[in-house]
Amino acid sequence: MRDVAVLSFAETPGGIRDADETEMLFEVIGAAIADSGLTRRQIGFTVSGSCDFVVGRPFSFVTALDAAGAWPPIAESHVEMDGAWALHEAWVHLQTGEVDAALIYAFGRSSLGPLRDVLTLQLDPYLVAPLRPDALAVARLQARALIDAGRAGEADFPGDDEPLAEDGAAAMVIAAGELAARGRAWIRGIDHRIEAQSLGARDLTRSPSTKQAAARAGAFARPVDHAELHTPFRHQGIILREALGLETAHTAAAPIMVAGLARVGHAARAILDGRAGRALAHATSGPCLQQNLVCVLEAA
């Protein structure tokens, strides 16, 4: 595999923003490209992650393209997923050797709607979603399973574990070959795996897809000294640390569609700042950690 470096990462500050997607993206895309030391014309591929249902309208990625500088026309793609999966697509594109640098961006504005009800629409549309279990109810099934398995106590659940309403955007520039000459944070492995969704068919207290993705990304070859986990609900940190063999980790829940890409960005920053030599980043999607991505980064 070709060595790929994370050259730069930018994100909006947390909280609710009085700005639309394109405005938020102007900030972070501009900052990420400036920090990368590359020009827009050196970026051969652009890919983004977002979800229409979060914003409550179709084609929400279309106006976001205005912030990407798509003129003259660009080679571009979009995944209806967290930006971490957009990063994976960009990494694959760089592996073909046809392009040497890529821009990845993601955005989500969960303040626009009731996220805990919106997420219900990810469930089986014929048999489960019509019963309207909200995201908190689904997450608590997992929390209850953890308590029943003796791996957590009632005290681990303070009861205010709502999915966070937060607006945000993030952007990253990655590169390979000569354009990565200044690279100091290198992607050593990246992989993602999914499980069947049915909540009744899974052991909700374990995350085999995280373990699988981590093994394929080479995470278990040597210990990491910095870990960033995407935990939409706090108790999921217990499950993920067990799957990854971690004692401690930094965690973040939001913004939706951005948090996963931001975990990779924070892991890269830990390396760029000299706080870590080897770091792991994790992203998740779907109810009860259904789909997981693991990225391992190293200095030089």
List of residues contacting another protein (CB under 8 A): 1, 20, 46, 51-53, 57-59, 61-63, 65-66, 70-81, 85, 88-89, 92-93, 95-98, 118-119, 121-126, 129, 191-198, 208-209, 212, 285-287, 290-291
Complex with another protein: residue 30 or 208, whichever CB lies closer: 208
Complex with another protein: residue 57 or 222, whichever CB lies closer: 57
Least distance to another protein from the beta carbon of 59, Å? Answer: 6
Euclidean distance between CA atoms 100 and 4, whole angstroms: 9
Hey, is 11 helix, strand or coil? strand
Contact 13, 218 (CB under 8 A): no
Complex with another protein: residue 272 or 288, whichever CB lies closer: 288
- Using CA atoms of 107, 121, 166, 49 in order, give the dihedral in degrees to the nearest 10: -10
Complex with another protein: residue 52 or 225, whichever CB lies closer: 52
Least distance to another protein from the beta carbon of 192, Å? Answer: 5
**Which positions ≥6 away from 73 have C-beta within 8 Å?**
none
Complex with another protein: residue 171 or 276, whichever CB lies closer: 171
Q: Could you tell me the CA-to-CA distances from 3 to 94, 175, 177, 186, 267 in Å, in that order?
A: 9, 9, 8, 7, 17
Least distance to another protein from the beta carbon of 159, Å? Answer: 26
Euclidean distance between CA atoms 81 and 254, whole angstroms: 14
Complex with another protein: residue 133 or 226, whichever CB lies closer: 133
CB count in 10 Å sphere of residue 62: 9
Contact 153, 238 (CB under 8 A): no
Least distance to another protein from the beta carbon of 70, Å? Answer: 5
Least distance to another protein from the beta carbon of 103, Å? Answer: 12
Contact 179, 108 (CB under 8 A): no
Least distance to another protein from the beta carbon of 247, Å? Answer: 27
| H or E element in which residue 113 lies | none
